[in-house]
Amino acid sequence: MTLDRNATHDASSSASHHMWGGRFGTRPDEALAALNDSLPIDRRLWMQDIRGSKAWVTALHEASVLDPDERTALHEGLDRVGERLAAGGEIDATDEDIHTLVERLLYEEVGDVAGKLHTGRSRNDQVVTDLRLWCLDAIEALDEQVAALGMALVRQGRDGVDMLLPGYTHGQQAQPVRWAYVMAAHAWPLLRDRERLGEIVGRVAVLPLGSGALAGSGVAVDRERLCELLGFRAISQNALDATGDRDFVAEMLFAATLLATHVSRLGGELVTYSSTEYGFVRLSDAFSTGSSLLPQKRNPDVFELARAKASRTLGDLVAMLGTMRGLPAGYSKDLQEDKTLLFDAVDTMLVTLPAVRGAVATMEPVPDRMRSALRDTLLATDVADELVNVGIPFREAHGLTGRLVREAEALGVPLREVPSEHTKQIHEGLPDILEGLGSFEDSVERRRTVGGTSKASVEAQLDALEQFFSN
């Protein structure tokens, strides 16, 4: 058997400290421990766990459950545990989870008083408090990266206000647009991402601590005080709901997935634009990759991976929502899956966003290739519009222009070079219209409605986006 799994658990050296076990005659089987133990995953919540525990100690003290000496001992003990973990201590610990590890180390530091820490608390409210604290940090980190990517797009746009290229629908040339306009089209979705992340905070920053296992804490702690100590915005209103609720994880995963989808769309478009056939952008050497066999390759791996990651985070979202389906209110062990999924999605985006930002910031647009890709047929709508201007209903004008395009194709010439003897037969006004058709710049400037590709509109967009991403 050569699968060489990175053994994540060696139950034989399992720590002897457990948060439970009094009622059982034997220790957990190794096979159970391998499935059940979550320390390799939830270890990274140690900072949140200590922070939450310190606040809990304060609350227990204020509820007269701990005397001042106990409070101080526990606070200092937790700080020392934190220092040990910050220094990478207990990296090979085989405790059941981070809560057990912290409690075990606390016993090492302060002795039996450690046994008072968990008074009136359950891992059910503890873990979800830790995870919500982690999410608040994660939202901040994601938001910062989204803004940075948005700003990189705005900067590319600033340099590309006057670069014209074909705009595409259905992957086909449609109308000429500005390079800045394309960059902005990928920046606006990021604005929605930040908005969404901002809204989620309101539902993430709800304190569950003090919910006990399912029915509320048996100790009359002041939950509003805990809320204040830990920087939450509100407290949960039903302990059964609070301990079994993972809506906030699903919301995080959805926000990450929609963000990843935006990045995938940007990535997909830039893979196309960096092909030899399009050649609209050239990746910097620092963000290109090569081939082991083909010496000439300059691969846009960064954009391909960006394209792929939206499926990865979607998988995480599916796993989370699938896990929640049909569970009763309150905590079920199924919910332990939440952390693996959440960490994977957030990590994925925190690795992907800087790479994409770097690649966008350093790629070079190639205005000559953009310009040379522009075909006369991109002006077909302008022809139709001119026919409208001489009184022809648009639907008819559209049909006439279609015939003109067919004619041009049949003759193998650009639109403007279809001889007037041909165009006249389609509509007598066409020769004049084609004569006065104007440049691609003229066409672009015709789209002056808000949100259009005219220079004024594009510059207004860049200003708005820049301001938005500066905050």
Residues classed as catalytic: 170, 291
Which among 122, 128, 130, 98 has a CA at the least distance from the CA of 245? Answer: 128
Q: Which is nearer to a second copy, 308 or 413 (CB)?
A: 308
Integer Cα distance of 52 and 125 in angstroms: 10
Q: Can you state the angle between helices 380-389 and 394-411, rounded to 10 degrees?
A: 140
Our CB check for a second copy shows the closer of 91 and 421 to be 91
Minimum CB separation of residue 425 from a second copy in Å reads: 14
Residue ranges with strand state E in 74-215: 164-169, 172-178, 206-207
Rounded to a whole number of angstroms, the minimum distance from the CB of residue 243 to a second copy is 8
Question: CB of residue 465 vs a second copy: minimum separation in angstroms?
Answer: 9
Local structure of 9: helix, strand or coil: coil
Strand partners, 176: 166
Q: Which two tokens stand for residue 368?
A: 């000559």
Nearer to a second copy, 30 or 435 (CB): 30
Q: How far is the CB of 178 from a second copy (least distance, A)?
A: 9
What is each CA distance from 319 to 248, 296, 342, in whole angstroms?
14, 41, 10
**Least Å from the CB of residue 80 to a second copy:** 18
Nearer of residues 322 and 419 to a second copy, judged by Cβ = 322
**CB of 80 or CB of 327, closer to a second copy:** 327
Q: How far is the CB of 421 from a second copy (least distance, A)?
A: 20
DSSP helix/strand/coil, 418: coil
* Shorter beta-carbon distance to a second copy: residue 435 or 456: 456
How many residues does this entry show for the chain? 471
Cβ(239)–Cβ(129) under 8 Å? no
Main-chain phi, psi angles of 206, to 5 degrees: -115, 120
Q: CA-based angle 134:138:139, to the nearest 5? A: 120
CA 384 to chain centre: 42
The Cα 130–Cα 335 span in angstroms is: 14
In the block, which residue shows the tokens 């609720």?
Answer: 245
| Maximum Cα interatomic distance, the chain, rounded to a whole number of Å | 102
In the numeric block, the tokens 């100790």 are attached to 219
CB of 435 to a second copy, least distance (A): 18
| Exposure on the CB side of residue 273, measured as CA atoms within 13 A | 26
To a second copy, the closest distance from the beta carbon of 420 in angstroms equals 19
Closest of 410, 412, 416 to residue 380, by C-alpha:
416
Among candidate residues 325, 322, 335, the one with its CA nearest the CA of residue 244: 335
Residue 80 or 116 with smaller CB distance to a second copy: 116
**Which residues, other chains included, contact 358 with Cβ-Cβ below 8 Å and sequence gap of 6+?**
286, 287, 302
Residue number, 205 or 380, with CB nearest to a second copy? 380
